[in-house]
Amino acid sequence: MCGIAGLLDLGGGTSNERLHELCLAMTEQMVHRGPDDRGVWTEQEAGIALGQQRLAIIDLAPTGHQPMMSRDERFVVTYNGEIYNHRELRVQLEASGRSFIGHSDTQVITEGATTWGLEGMLGGLNGMFAIALWDRQTRVLHLARDRMGEKPLYYGRFGRWVLFGSELKALVAHPYWEPRLDSTAANLFFTYNYVPAPRTIFEGVYKLPPGHFLSIKCDAAKPLPEPRPYWSLHEVARRGLAEPLRSDPNAAIKELDVLLSDAVQMRMESDVPLGALLSGGIDSSLIVAMMQRSARQPVKTFSVGFNEKGYDESTHARNVAEFLGTEHQEFRVTPKDALEVVPALPTMYDEPFADSSQIPTHLIAKLAREHVTVALSGDAGDECFTGYHRYGWGETLWARFGWIPAPLRRWLAGLLRSFSPAQFDVVFRTLAHVLPKSMHYSNPGDRIHKLLGVIGSANKEALYDSLLTNLSGHVSPAVRGAKRGFGGTDAQPAIEDFVAWMVALDMQVYLPDDILVKVDRATMATSLESRAPFLDHRVVEFSWRLPKDYKLRGTVGKWITRELLYQYVPKTIVDRPKQGFSVPLDNWLRGPLREWADDLMQPGSLADTGAIDVAHVAQRWHEHISGRRNWGHFLWSILMFESWRRTYLSTTLNRAA
Comparing C-alpha atoms, which of 430, 472, 426 is closest to residue 450? Answer: 472
Q: Are the C-beta atoms of residues 278 and 326 closer than 8 Å to each other? A: yes
d(CA 42, CA 324): 50
Is the C-alpha dihedral spanning 385, 388, 389, 393 positive or negative? negative
Q: Are the C-beta atoms of residues 319 and 573 closer than 8 Å to each other? A: yes
Choose the catalytic residue: 2, 23, 218, 384.
2
d(CA 164, CA 170): 8
Residue 388: strand, helix, or coil: coil
Strands (E), 288-414: 300-306, 327-333, 374-376
d(CA 507, CA 109): 26
455-465 b/e (C-beta count within 10 Å ≥ 16 → b): bbbeebeebbb
How many C-beta atoms surround the C-beta of residue 447 within 10 A? Answer: 18
**Residue 12, Ramachandran bin (φ over 0: left; ψ between -120 and 50: alpha; else beta):** left
Please provide residue 128's backbone torsions phi and psi, each rounded to the nearest 5 degrees. -115, 135
d(CA 90, CA 103): 9
Residue 627: strand, helix, or coil: coil
d(CA 603, CA 538): 50
β-strand 327-333 against 300-306: which pairing, if any? parallel
Q: How far is CA 474 from CA 213, 452, 464, 479, in A?
A: 37, 18, 19, 10
Tell me the β-bridge partners of 333. Answer: 306
218 is catalytic: no
| Burial class (CB within 10 angstroms; exposed 0-12, middle 13-18, buried 19+) of 501 | buried
Active-site residue set: 2
